[in-house]
Structure 1
């Protein structure tokens, strides 16, 4: 980007006329006309300077990682943009109209990742705006550029709060006039759009500033478990994220201490000797403007400390560690020459049953060979470890003295069974909260923006409510989804480590849409998001998945919505006639209304059959991919498969002995589906030249590409 040159006002000096009898009436008329036109432009210039200020605020909020909460369209066509910062900042901007010879102030990010002011004059490229030879950063501390039109109708600019002004010059180093025939644009913003996930601000110079959107009222507790387990007197803290929260009320079990300050939730369990509830629920009830309120809940429980020393008649047993699936202990026999056996038995098992189980084990193992009897201990002290226990279950860590003879294959019990009870811990499951914002709900799709409360991996998708409701529970739905969509189709690659679960899952903020495409690396594991069914209840769902491909939350976050009904805007129907000649198709499409525009083409039958519940879902899918292939300035009316009136075309060199569909559906040039689709199935002839199309490997989408064929029109 070049540096923008400014022409000093001092260089534009006028000369005085020496002739006293000169008739200057026309000159003064011209001067007065210029003054009137300049005055008429002052309103537009005031709006431009207001836009510069709004642009500065926009970049400041972007740098501060503040979100847009909503975009309102006003009666005069302007937009009010609301932000999620504590000050509830808002700005108002307008879409600008094209103007003649108007300079455009914009912003651009340089290689240092900082936004700087730019200036575009006429048909030139954006150039850095300089003050004292340096680029001007778009920050609150830096000077905001000001525009003005001088009394001769030329554009001037100040970069020092109006202390000095300089001419804006064109590529020929001439001052730029504001008095062109086309008027002057009254905004530096060309367009403001949003999709629920992001707000897009397109500037007149073509730059697009993208700012993430968020709800303007929520509170998320980061890394919060579904059930928080505490030792007596233990304190834990959780960071939070909130927007639009004015007040908070906390509820807690008796004896617990809970506080909230500086976006941190602090929970302290009661002391062991205190009168308290050992388990319960903590609720954070939060309030905002307009009587809005909501709450976040977390279950808590005192987890008894089972570590410590227990003295017995024959042994000293010290439990040193208890986990969710493991126990560790130090065993010291009173007689260091005595052999003994240690095992965590089920709490409900009797002494006799424990001894009987040991004797059966010894008998089975000694029959296989003495080398299999390797579980007896002897010595002054043993560091005993055992894993493979069930989380949240109660056990007795048991020890008994034994005398055994591997040659004689005998086992005698020489002491009573000593039992020390303990319970394994319940692992804390991080209950990630997913803030989901829906937008653009149509008869065939929707958009969803996901904002998780942490950076743990997750999946998100759309699912029919009826499908979700048939699952046994949230875990059943989530694990079935993970297994069917990813584990079984990619089992070999996952087992061999060629693919990792992190290749499939998302982290952080994500926006997805139906129809849509999830691009992954490597590309062959990318996948389509297919269109939805019309007039149907759906959930947008999100749930965690750990590095082992396991559902990692206690519940599936979901948001209910209903797709709209489809109402055709054209009454046109289609007659499709296909003549098959070996591996070639001769296709004729006859619309009942010759004025209806439409799309017609073909696809593999199994692509259609495997992924669409109704014929009505196919046109949005086909149209989505056609729209992706359009170049700048093109519409769907420029697509090769867009017709009005009868259509006739041939498709040659298809796969032999294969099933295809030929389809037609009404579509306007701007991409609106206007009729019900007509879909017919055809089969090519010849020998089989491909493997089974129903195999899982064939159904994987790699790229949007078709097999080799030619279309002749």
Structure 2
């Protein structure tokens, strides 16, 4: 009996011990499940935050916003994400999406899959949401936009039953996730309706911890490679680049320097027109680097010209090239990207001729540039009205700085200003433009001569260029516009005036004959009824105006 009681007591102890063990095991299992569910719910929360942040990034790209700061988000002494601030948009938080960095997570939950959401730009240039690499579509099969283009007026939507525009034209929808009954659900209408996706936990009861923050959206945020932009890399490899404050600061500086160059360019044209000359050209240095030149004139105010090149070119962001070019009327006009700027059907003059007679309006206006919301704007009326040009920043976030706007070279006698389109303006350093450039008294004569014999394309004729001319043929025949051609005396290569050289030039009053001209055809000056003064070189074969009158 005593042995029986001892055996019974032993059974009770074993039974009690066994019961206690099973209870702990169940409790641990339940606790582990709750922990996994809590992790998944935290993941879901972070994913929704990342989705909202991603849409802000796309909108910032669309609105030409830029990043002003990036601050790490810390949790338990560990970096778990970043807070990113913008110039115009609200701050966002992006979570790394990986908290099993030591490799402990994500080996058992093969059946629990975290949906991968992202954005991708389609052929229409608009960013749409993607799910697991495929376009995210609504119940009508339409791709869901991640940006707000046309969203205000619903112009892209279907007609509703009441005939109003665009019942589905609400653009820039932010998808939302939730976990319910161990499944992922997604909503495209701010939580009004939900669509079931895959399981959030695996068949073996383990959560899919390879999906717990496992690179579900952002795989990288690079803000160290360049100070000009931040690169956001998504799970499918898509990269979005947003410019930083330093990029915009560089663009604003470029804009200011370009406006300085435009003002300087007009001074150069005016100096040329007024026969002014340059007294000094001094390098302008910054941090030991030549960034431009200070140029002083005998009569005009000093000018500064910046080199206009201090960085790599942006792929899509282009600096507008403003220049001047002489037209066939011998007047300099402003150009934009090589073409004459035309406003209300009129080219805009870069010099002040005819400015007071009211025929062409206000002459000699200096265009002004401005950067507004990442676009170039230009004004032709001192800032009263503005016209939008192209983007100042490229899609890749790099600023669109282009090459030298004005190239400056000089020799003993002249300073040469070469513009981007190849136009060369020559200003004397010796006190007289005539030292090398011939100053024509008659603009119609100059127009014809430059059009024929300007070999270097600078819009002027040098003594070397006219000396190379051996015949003028009949290029001036029947030209009733020309009045003065005393500059003909510099055409030292001429030995004869052919038949009809100036025949029909009824308004020609003055002309000077080159010294080497030994033959003048009898018809050379036929019909020149206004010809009153002819100058001969002392070494000329002809001595008097009567000779021409007798021809």
TM-score (norm 1): 0.32
Q: Which has the higher helix share?
A: 2
* Larger Rg computed on CA atoms: 2
